[in-house]
Amino acid sequence: MYDPTVARLTYRALLGRRRALILFVLPAVLIAISVAVRLLVGADDAVANQVLGGFALATMVPLIGVIAGTGAIGPEIDDGSIVYLLAKPLKRPTIILTKLTVAVGVTMVFSAVPMLIAGFVLNGNSRQIAVAYAVAAVAASVAYSALFLLLGTVSRQAVVFGLVYALIWEALIGSLVPGARTLSVQQWALALAEKTAPGAGIASDVGLPVAAVLLAVVTVAGAWYAGRKLRTLTLAGEE
């Protein structure tokens, strides 16, 4: 269910000059903010929660997910080069799962790792806050990658819809409207962070069992429907 050639092509597409620049800028901004905050405020658990939860998990992680998830397949569909890949003797689920694996890996590297570093910079991992948010970033990376990979297969405006979800739903509505938080990947990931670092001031509006189920459902359903859509694209090309 994993093809090295597809993976190599996907990595090359994701880590091209333009996308790689954006991928590196976001973590660099997080770490720069963390260093500045530590120098100005000192080690403070509440401030660490605000930076890691309010900026990193709410904004940086979904944005990186948009870049990696949609970029793993969207450009190939837009320019028609996906036809050459579909002409190869590869099972469609293999193509999707390989691209999903690459997207997850890229999202984790550019979100969970900087999150962990930023947490140590902010408060030295006091109360396991850095580890907790890194765990949340890992879980969110999987769900976001599946969700945005699906968007890349069903819409030519995947990046636009992804940015709307990341910036408006997750960062704005999901942070301000209580009812909307239940349908937020950010809140599901926060449930894992809350369990990892109890008593650290991390709170989620969703319980851990529900969050785990929803994360799994979004990931599996997203990958399954993306594969189904890819089969439709194959039939259209053959016709």
> What pTM, to 2 d.p., does this model score?
0.92
- Token pair in block for residue 226: 């993306």
Question: Which of 29-43, 72-86, 154-168 is modeled with the greatest confidence?
Answer: 29-43
Q: How far is Cα 134 from Cα 120, in angstroms, rounded to an integer? A: 11
Confidence of residue 238 (pLDDT cuts 50, 70, 90): very low
Tell me the per-residue pLDDT of 171-205, one tens digit each, with 9 for 90 and over.
Answer: 777 667 767 778 889 999 999 999 999 989 999 98
Q: Are 75 and 153 in contact (CB under 8 A)?
A: no
Mean pLDDT of the chain: 89
Closest CA to 56 of 128, 130, 126: 130
Number of CB atoms found within 10 A of residue 219's CB: 19
Phi then psi dihedrals of residue 197, to 5 deg: -130, 70
Q: What pLDDT, on a 0 to 100 scale, did the predictor assign at position 180? A: 73
User: Which residue has better confidence, 74 or 151?
Assistant: 151
∠ CA 144-183-98 to the nearest 5 degrees? Answer: 20
∠ CA 37-39-45 to the nearest 5 degrees? Answer: 50
Confidence of residue 7 (pLDDT cuts 50, 70, 90): very high
Q: How far is Cα 126 from Cα 149, in angstroms, rounded to an integer? A: 35
Q: How far is Cα 94 from Cα 238, in angstroms, rounded to an integer? A: 19
Tell me the per-residue pLDDT of 108-161, one tens digit each, with 9 for 90 and over.
Answer: 999 999 999 999 999 999 999 999 999 999 999 999 999 999 999 998 888 899
Q: What pLDDT, on a 0 to 100 scale, did the predictor assign at position 175? A: 65
* pLDDT of 72 higher than 50: yes
Q: What pLDDT, on a 0 to 100 scale, did the predictor assign at position 205? A: 87
User: Which residue has better confidence, 14 or 234?
Assistant: 14
Q: What pLDDT, on a 0 to 100 scale, did the predictor assign at position 51? A: 96
